[in-house]
């Protein structure tokens, strides 16, 4: 898309450090500035984890999602821990995303874009900088990239930024190795297994899909049209919330654009600013202030970006925010991740859809049915009710159809483990069951069975004539 003068003028004032002149939320304060400087210097010298070619490939796919030709599935842990950098934990999440995408492809007849909340989702925003633990007020746990969950490790340590890099790089390296080794080969879809899923109906539905695919592949092989190389692997991109701007700044590099890529804003040197910590980053609902540091940082990077949209977002504010981060109105550059809650989605989503349509921006609409539906039990355990998650996602599908729009994706906090963190679903977990296997150090996640149920919901919507 051609650039305009205003966009060029705005771009010329941006640098990877210009965010430092803006007010910032979720600020990180280190006691030892010399130690912090040394950690940031180390981080700045480490090689990129992702490449411009990969980032541009994702941008192209998200353009398709914005135009209704693909569906975005994004999922993973609420707060990734360094200890999750292990083969079994990584495998379980890869396989779950592959299983869900198989269901979605079957239901929608659309290509599915897979983005993992993995290899970098180590930071979490908190509503309060401190919390009370055993009668003592201590700093809140803000993710392994900043401090430890153990009360004795709550002081922010800048060298955790470097540790986050190494754990992200190791996770990403293993992901790539597994994908190149055939973990996603459609010739052997049953090798993905159903892990902890014991529900007979869910197993039967999934196995019927697999059988249908196997029959199609057998026919293609018989007539000599089996393009094995295209079915051996898939793309799996990485993402995290771009919360710790010191970290993102250090991994933002001016790199040559891939051959054939036409950036929205032309550069004389053929280069652009790429965040090389992940393919996709998003701005949280707590850090999307129009004049804030996070919006300032995000408006200058080539990566596709997400913006969380909560109940406090006003329509005019949303349009102004899009104008700031995407002045050239590049199609699919921005993914709007709506997170209203089951009780508010009906009253808010339609107005936001119409405001964006009127602005001329073409975005990927993605539903996050998790964050607006968090509650605490009588004993103080944080959980989410599956029926509320299901309800918000169902409402989003319906409202988009009513407004001549379409839901382009879903954004879930999930794990491939048989955790008991969200109540309800066909497994019928109650509040009293949460203690059976509640392992999250932050927000509750869907287990494998609950996540697959949501995939079947969306697939069923498309199979029954949804847009």
Calpha distance 438→160 (Å, rounded): 25
Burial of 233 (0-12, 13-18, 19+ CB in 10 A): middle
Spatial CB neighbours of 116, under 8 Å, sequence gap ≥ 6: 74, 75, 76, 93, 94, 97, 175, 236, 237, 238, 239
Closest C-alpha to 144, from 174, 173, 121, 170? 121
Calpha distance 50→446 (Å, rounded): 28
Q: Is 371 annotated as a binding residue?
A: yes
Calpha distance 374→376 (Å, rounded): 7
The strand ranges marked E within 381-443 are 382-385, 409-413, 422-423
Q: Is 117 annotated as a binding residue?
A: yes
Asked if residues 65 and 411 have their Cβ atoms less than 8 Å apart, the reply is no
Q: Is 339 annotated as a binding residue?
A: yes
Residue by residue, DSSP assigns 5-63 as: HHHHHHHHT--TTGGGGS--SS----S-HHHHHHHHHHHHTSPPSS-HHHHHHHHHHHH
Q: Is 111 annotated as a binding residue?
A: no
Residue by residue, DSSP assigns 88-107 as: HHHHHHHHHHHHHHHHHHHH
Spatial CB neighbours of 144, under 8 Å, sequence gap ≥ 6: 79, 80, 81, 82, 122, 160, 163, 164, 167
Asked if residues 237 and 58 have their Cβ atoms less than 8 Å apart, the reply is yes
Asked if residues 287 and 26 have their Cβ atoms less than 8 Å apart, the reply is yes
Asked if residues 314 and 352 have their Cβ atoms less than 8 Å apart, the reply is no
Calpha distance 294→341 (Å, rounded): 24
DSSP annotation of 429 reads B
Asked if residues 412 and 458 have their Cβ atoms less than 8 Å apart, the reply is no
Calpha distance 41→233 (Å, rounded): 37
- SS3 call for 351: helix
Would you tell me how many other CB atoms lie within 10 Å of the CB of residue 409?
Answer: 26
Q: Is 443 annotated as a binding residue?
A: yes
Could you tell me which residues are annotated as the binding site for phosphoenolpyruvate?
117, 308, 339
Q: Mark the binding-site residues for Mn(2+), compressed into ranges.
A: 78, 371, 413, 443
Residues contributing to the annotated binding site: 78, 117, 308, 339, 371, 413, 443
């Amino acid at each position: 898309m051609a650039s305009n003068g205003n966009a060029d003028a705005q771009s010329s004032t941006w640098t990877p450090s210009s965010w430092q002149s803006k007010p910032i939320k979720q600020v990180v304060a280190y006691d030892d500035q010399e130690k912090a400087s040394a950690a940031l210097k180390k981080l700045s010298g480490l090689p990129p984890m992702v490449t411009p070619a990969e980032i541009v490939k994702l941008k192209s796919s998200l353009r398709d999602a914005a135009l209704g030709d693909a569906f975005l599935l994004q999922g993973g842990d609420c707060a990734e821990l360094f200890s999750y950098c292990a083969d079994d934990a990584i495998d379980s999440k890869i396989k779950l995303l592959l299983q869900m995408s198989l269901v979605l492809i079957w239901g929608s007849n659309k290509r599915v874009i897979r983005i993992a909340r993995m290899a970098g989702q180590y930071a979490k925003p908190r509503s309060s900088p401190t919390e009370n633990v055993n009668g003592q007020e201590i700093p809140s746990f803000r993710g392994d990239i900043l401090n430890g969950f153990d009360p004795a490790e709550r002081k922010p340590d800048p060298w955790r930024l470097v540790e986050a890099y190494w754990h992200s790089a190791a996770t990403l390296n293993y992901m790539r190795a597994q994908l190149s080794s055939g973990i996603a080969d459609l010739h052997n879809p049953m090798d993905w297994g159903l892990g902890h899923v014991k529900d007979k109906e869910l197993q039967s539905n999934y196995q019927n899909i697999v059988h249908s695919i196997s029959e199609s592949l057998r026919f293609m092989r018989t007539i000599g049209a089996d393009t094995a190389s295209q079915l051996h692997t898939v793309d799996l991109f990485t993402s995290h919330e771009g919360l710790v701007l010191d970290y993102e700044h250090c991994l933002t590099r001016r790199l040559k654009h891939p051959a054939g890529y036409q950036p929205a804003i032309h550069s004389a040197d053929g280069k652009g600013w790429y965040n090389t910590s992940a393919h996709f980053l998003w701005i949280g609902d707590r850090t999307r202030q129009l004049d804030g540091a996070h919006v300032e940082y995000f408006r200058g990077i080539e990566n596709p970006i997400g913006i969380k949209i909560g109940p406090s977002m006003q329509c005019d504010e949303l349009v102004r925010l899009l104008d700031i981060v995407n002045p050239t109105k590049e199609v699919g550059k921005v993914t709007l991740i709506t997170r209203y809650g089951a009780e508010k989605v009906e009253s808010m989503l339609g107005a936001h859809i119409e405001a964006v349509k009127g602005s001329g921006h073409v975005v990927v609409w993605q539903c996050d049915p998790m964050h607006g539906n968090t509650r605490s039990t009588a004993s103080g355990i944080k959980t989410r009710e599956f029926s509320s998650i299901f309800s918000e996602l169902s409402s989003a599908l319906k409202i988009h159809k009513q407004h001549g729009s379409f839901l382009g994706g879903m954004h879930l906090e999930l794990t491939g483990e048989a955790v008991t963190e969200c109540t309800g679903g066909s497994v019928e977990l109650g509040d009293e069951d949460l203690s059976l296997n509640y392992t999250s150090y932050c927000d509750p996640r869907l287990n494998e069975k609950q996540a697959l149920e949501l995939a079947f919901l969306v697939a069923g919507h498309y199979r029954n004539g949804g847009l």
